[in-house]
Chain A
Amino acid sequence: MNRMVQCAILFAALFPCAFLYSGCGPGASAQRGQDLFDLHCASCHDDPPPDLKKQPPKLEGLFKAKYLPSGAPATDTQVRKTIVGGLRTMPAFDQRLSNQDLNDLVAYLHTLN
């Protein structure tokens, strides 16, 4: 087997692993995450009422920057922590979203450019 073929096989074997561990968690569905986002998050982050005490930040490019709007590192762990525990006037989604929901939401947030 020549070297090119070996590389192709190795790439094909590793590609799904790289996708799974790209910050989305195993079995995460960005499509389902978008549905959850539309239901729970969009009314604040996409089109917030003007009279809220603090205007929620837009989430486009959330994971493209080094830091979140709060100043914390832009990591999956930090974003999950913010969703579950809330932050300042952002409500906590504690006991409301399952682990799978969180995986899917984070997977969707990774797709926002």
Chain B
Amino acid sequence: MNFQRLIPVVCFGILLSGCQSKTKHYDLKGEVLDKNPATNEITVKHEDIPGFMPAMTMSYSVKDPNGFRQVEPGDDITADVITANSGNQYWLENVRITDESGRKTIKPGTVHRLDIGDHVPALSLLNQDGKSFRLGDFKGKAVLITFVYTRCPVPTFCPRLSSQFAKIQDDLAKTPIDFAKTHLVTISFDPKYDTPPVLRKYGLAYLDNDPAGFSHWDFASTNPGDLRKIADAFGLEYFEEDNQISHSMVIVLISPEGTVAKYWSTEWTTAELEDALRQQEKVGVIPTQPHGQRKAG
């Protein structure tokens, strides 16, 4: 064998391995609330994970097939959280059941979200300017919706979602026709704290302090009852505990006809969201009612 020929191959391999994003490991301890075999995800209510996130309920992909098969809702588990790409990608490995005595107390699949093609609920929201609107008001436009709360301290959760929406807003603004046929909505699930003035301040931080951006991106919330209905409709899980809100992440794409077109809950990129939005916009119709004609709240 000519070893001299192997040298560049070995060097290239070393370079490649050096280019892979660094991973970090954290210890997770918590209770499994739900299991989704279609996506290989489990929802875990976990304790504080110092350096990664405070106690929270969230969905994780499980990369360990045996661990996923064995675990059931109600189990107490430990696992390794592996993060890559500065925390933007994360998953579980080495899932171990520490107590399965609670297994029968929780039914899997407690949240039943709308199916693709279903119409969005006709519930009223109040935006950052105190004006009320319904998700159905955007017919003729492709709408991207996500859920945050403004005090969220986990950078890979709400701050990341809002940063990605800000990037999409900036990108769409470069093409007036795309901008006119799309809309963004960020809904807070913390209406007690996230009043219109708080949402306005939060929104301005992501709009480079330009209030004109609100014409294309609403920051809204509603009363706790309707909020729960909207969250259930889109499969968002959230609950308040120790002055902190544990929550899952959901992004929903609404077609120009006002129906659910696509969901994202664990993995996505800004480019993927933007492409999906533009695809929907292409099949849509020109809006007949300007967005500014909403009822005052």
Known: A49-B160, A51-B164. A43 touches B52 (CB 8 A): yes
**Chain B residues packing against A (C-beta within 8 Å):** 48, 50-54, 85-88, 150-156, 158-160, 162-164, 166-167, 193, 205-206, 243-244, 270
Inter-chain CA distance A112–B88, complex, in Å, is 27
**Interface 1/0 per residue, A24-67 and B, CB below 8 Å:** 00000000000100111111100111111100100000000000
A20 → chain B, closest Cβ, in Å?
Answer: 28
Could you list 12 examples of A-B contacts with CB < 8 Å?
A38-B50, A39-B50, A40-B153, A47-B86, A49-B155, A51-B88, A89-B159, A89-B163, A91-B152, A91-B153, A91-B158, A96-B153
Could you say which of A43, A49, A92, A95 has the most chain B C-beta atoms within 10 Å of its C-beta?
A43
* Contacting residue for A49 out of B87, B153, B166, CB 8 A: B87
Are B163 and A52 in contact, CB atoms less than 8 angstroms apart?
A: yes
Are B160 and A43 in contact, CB atoms less than 8 angstroms apart?
A: no
B270 neighbours in A (Cβ, 8 Å): 51
Known: A38-B50, A51-B160, A89-B205. A43 touches B243 (CB 8 A): no
Are B243 and A96 in contact, CB atoms less than 8 angstroms apart?
A: yes
Majority SS at the chain B contact face: loop
Are B167 and A43 in contact, CB atoms less than 8 angstroms apart?
A: no
Could you say which of B151, B155, B160, B166 has the most chain A C-beta atoms within 10 Å of its C-beta?
B155
Are B86 and A50 in contact, CB atoms less than 8 angstroms apart?
A: yes
**Chain A residues packing against B (C-beta within 8 Å):** 35, 38-44, 47-53, 56, 86, 88-89, 91-96
A99 → chain B, closest Cβ, in Å?
Answer: 14
B158 neighbours in A (Cβ, 8 Å): 91
A43 neighbours in B (Cβ, 8 Å): 51-53, 87, 153-156
| 6 more CB-based (< 8 A) A-B contacts, given A53-B159, A56-B155, A91-B153 | A43-B51, A43-B87, A51-B270, A53-B163, A53-B205, A91-B151
B296 → chain A, closest Cβ, in Å?
Answer: 28
B156 neighbours in A (Cβ, 8 Å): 43, 49
Are A91 and B159 in contact, CB atoms less than 8 angstroms apart?
A: yes
Known: A39-B54, A43-B87, A43-B154. A94 touches B193 (CB 8 A): yes
Known: A47-B87, A86-B151, A91-B150. A42 touches B51 (CB 8 A): yes
Closest to B204 in A: A88
B54 neighbours in A (Cβ, 8 Å): 39-40
Inter-chain CA distance A17–B162, complex, in Å, is 45
B87 → chain A, closest Cβ, in Å?
Answer: 5
Closest to B201 in A: A86
Are A92 and B150 in contact, CB atoms less than 8 angstroms apart?
A: yes
B206 neighbours in A (Cβ, 8 Å): 53, 89
Inter-chain CA distance A42–B215, complex, in Å, is 35
Are A52 and B151 in contact, CB atoms less than 8 angstroms apart?
A: no
B53 neighbours in A (Cβ, 8 Å): 43
A103 → chain B, closest Cβ, in Å?
Answer: 18
